[in-house]
Structure 1
Amino acid sequence: MGERQHGDSLRIERQENCVTLVLNRPDKLNPLDRHTVAHLLETVKALELDRTVHTVVLTGAGRAFSAGGDLDGYVSLYQDPPAFRFFLENFHALLAFMEGSSKIYIAAINGACVAGGLELLLACDVVIAAESAKIGDGHLNFGQLPGAGGSQRLPRAIGALRAKHLMLTGDMWTARQALDAGLVSEVVADDALLERCTALAALIATRSPANLQGAKDLVNESHRGSLEDGLLFELQYVHRYATTVPDATEGLIAFREKRKPIYGKP
């Protein structure tokens, strides 16, 4: 496995078709400050150009995925409105880029996941949580509001009532509670978290890259408009995919010939 440092806040590891991004300030519970967000945005943009990468796993070093923003840093950042606006726009751009990416983003929630950490989770395609993970919003505990899309993505993920409850109370959910609410996809033993994510990434890598992009696009569209709009989008998207992307026909022929499909590159 290859490994390199990206600044002080992000560690990047590579294994075959999967890249793992590790938030790497465990002494501060991996804050998503403006430098880390900028590093993440730069990194995911670079990964998008790498056709050999199919999946990206996001996790945190130490005992937290991410406990959120840098609260001490916000004090000075709030005194510089243009700088704060730039930070918010970068954070929004990062999460929007992940959602629209052709890569599949897997969040490996290894501990505390709060505030900005929750907003990062919500932009991922699959969320696997360790049994001991704790997940919450927490912004209102410190007089803050979610500013990286949390107020919009959270109710879409778990419903308005549950979202408001989580935001207004500052409750920290166990991994099992988050699973029951639909906030995570799966819960595994702490020592099996990265192994499970790696195995899932390997499985996903066997799919057609165009198929992966299509699945993401279709599900993401379901949150954007009315049911009628979404159904029309699906009809048009699937028609174009099946009639213009060779992978669609290749999958059927491979099934008929009882062999593994040979998919094209994205």
Structure 2
Amino acid sequence: MAAVNEAAGDQQERVLCAVEDGVATITLNRPDQLNPLDRLTVAALLEQVQQLEADGSVSIIVLRGAGRAFSAGGDLEGYMQLYRDRPEFMKFLRNFNLLLEEIERSEKIYVAVVHGHCVAGGLELMLACDIVLAAHEAQIADGHLNFAQLPGAGGSQRLPRAIGALKAKLLVLTGRTIGGEEAERIGLASLSVPRSELEAALDGLIADLKRKSPLGLKGAKYLINTGGLGARDAALELELHYVHHYATTSHDAYEGLAAFKEKRKPDLKGE
């Protein structure tokens, strides 16, 4: 955690955060360099995410980048120094992986908004999110091997789980770039719209999420993420017991049925 503390004083420059009506927006804020995910930025992101995880008033977290990029990936010049400091490089990799695990294991919903370049580490950050909203004009790539690098923040594992091994190998081994429409077509993006419609699409998406039970959103995310890691039979058994507990103990599950029966909007309390 030393790297997190080191970044604390620099967080406002590298990472911005705004909270409004239960929705937090984290913005990578180094547009002149296409928002690189260097050591200090990753540490600042991790610290910001951990703060939001402790904030019970926030249920949705939007990740986006300032300027022309979501994130064009790591700081390759900085890596030249990190490679010579093996303990520090491992600390960086640990922090990056911890950040993505925090996002995946969170009970909150993370939405990545990708409008421009999303490459290498940017792609790895995007892959950890629950929903990816991409502009048609987005430029999405793995790109590591273009400079003889390898994905070190889960890209080699999350990408094939998202789009299949053959498509993942195509993107990783060739380093080719795809747009938002193709990303949606192959399952790398949840939804793609023209750049001019991106903000309206985000507003609609957030409105859809906020109409749902927070407890239900938490449960659905947990079942999809956890079930996908194990064998099918074990995952089905996990779903069975989780849904049984949810349906028989939560206010929202019963209230949803009552609202359907009475043809009214459900009064969801997140419990």
Q: Deviations over 1:24-77 (max 9, x none)?
A: 101100001111111111111111122221211111111111000011100001
SS in structure 1 of the partner of residue 267 of structure 2:
coil
- Please show how residues 36-75 of structure 1 align to structure 2 within 5 Å: 36-75=41-80
Return the structure number with greater relative CO, CA threshold 8 A, min gap 6.
1
With 241-250 and 253-262 compared, the bigger mean Cα shift is at: 253-262
What letter matches 1:23 in structure 2?
A: L
Among 154, 160, 173, the alignment partner of 2:159 is 154
Q: Which residue of 1 aligns with 2:6?
A: none
**Residue number in structure 2 paired with 1:111:** 116
Per-residue Cα deviation, 1:182-206 (whole angstroms, up to 9, x for no partner): 1001111112212311221122012
Sequence identity (%): 55
Find the counterpart in structure 1 of residue 169 from structure 2.
Answer: 164
Give how far 1:233 is off: 0.8
Cα drift, residue 88 of structure 1: 0.7
Query: Relative to total residues, which structure has the larger helix share, 1 or 2?
Result: 2
Unmatched tracts of structure 1, length 5 or more: none
1:30 aligns with 2:35: yes
1:98 equivalent in alignment to 2:97 = no
Are 1:79 and 2:79 counterparts? no
Cα distance between partner residues in 1 of 2:19 and 2:202: 13
Q: Of the candidates 7, 15, 32, which is equivalent to residue 12 of structure 2?
A: 7
1:78-103 CA deviation, whole Å, 9 max, x = no partner?
11111111111111111111111111
For 1:15 and 1:57, the matched residues in 2 are separated by 11
Unaligned ranges ≥5, structure 2: 1-9
Alignment CA distance shift 1:167-1:67 (3 Å): same
Report what 1:253 is aligned to: 258
1:112-191 equivalences in 2 (<5 Å): 112-191=117-196
Letter in 2 for 1:226: A
Give the partner amino acid of 1:19: A
- Residue 6 of structure 1 contacts residue 12 of structure 1 at CA under 8 Å; is this kept in 2? no
Secondary structure in 1 matching 2:230: coil
2:239 corresponds in structure 1 to 234
Q: Is the 8 A contact 1:135 1:172 kept in 2?
A: yes
Instruction: Spell out structure 1 runs of 4+ moving beyond 3 A.
Output: none
